[in-house]
Chain A
Amino acid sequence: MTTWFWIVMAPVLGGLVYGGERVLRARMQRRQGPPLLQPFYDMFKLMDKRTLVIHSAHALLGVVHFLVLWITVGAIFFGWNLLYIVFLHLFALIVLVIAGYSVRSVFSQIGANRELLALVAYEPVLLLVTVGFYLYAGSFYIGDILHHSGYLSQMPLLFLALLVILPIKVKKSPFDVVEGHQEIVGGVEVEYSGFFFEFLYMARFLEYIFIYSFVFLFGGADYWLGALLVIGTFILVNLVDNATARVRAADMVKISYLLALLLAGINIVWMLT
Chain B
Amino acid sequence: MKWLAQFRKKSPWILHYNAGSCNGCDIEILAALSPRFDLERFGIVNTGNPKQTDIFLVTGPVTFHSRERLVELYSQIPEPKVVVAVGACTSTGGVFRGMYNVEDGIDRYIPVDVYVPGCAASPQLIIDGIVQALSILEKKNKAIEKPFRLFGGIKRIGKKISRLTMAKRIGEEK
Contact = CB atoms under 8 A, between A and B. Distances in A.
Nearest to A54: B51
Contacts, number: 83
Contacts of B10: 35, 38, 41, 45
A31 B40 contact: yes
Interface stretch (B1-9, B16-24, B124-132): B1-9
Contacts of A45: 4, 7-8, 10-11, 54
Interface residues of B, number: 27
A57 B32 CA distance: 39
Interface in B106-158: 142, 144
B47 A186 contact: yes
Interface in A141-162: none
A190 to B, nearest CB: 6
Contacts of B7: 41, 44-45, 48
Contacts of A31: 35, 38, 40-41
A49 B43 contact: no
B49 A185 contact: yes
Contacts of B1: 47-48
Nearest to B33: A31
A140 B11 CA distance: 42
A50 B40 contact: no
B133 to A, nearest CB: 14
Given A49-B78, A185-B48, A26 B43 contact: no
Contacts of A52: 51, 76, 78, 163
A194 interface: yes
Nearest to B78: A50
B78 A26 contact: no
Contact of A48 (B8, B51, B76): B8
Contact of B51 (A35, A181, A191): A191
B78 A51 contact: yes
B80 to A, nearest CB: 7
Interface string A50-69: 11100000000000000000
Contact of A193 (B52, B142, B144): B52
Interface in B62-120: 76, 78-80
Contacts of A26: 38, 40-41
Given A41-B10, A52-B163, A190-B51, A32 B78 contact: no
Interface string A186-202: 10001111100100000
Which 7 A/B pairs are nearest by Cβ-Cβ distance?
A193-B51, A44-B7, A48-B4, A41-B10, A41-B11, A50-B78, A42-B11
Interface of A: 22, 26, 29-35, 38, 41-42, 44-45, 47-52, 181, 185-186, 190-194, 197
Given A48-B1, A49-B142, A52-B76, 17 more contacts: A26-B40, A26-B41, A31-B38, A32-B40, A32-B41, A34-B43, A35-B41, A41-B7, A41-B11, A44-B4, A45-B4, A50-B79, A50-B80, A51-B78, A185-B47, A185-B49, A191-B51
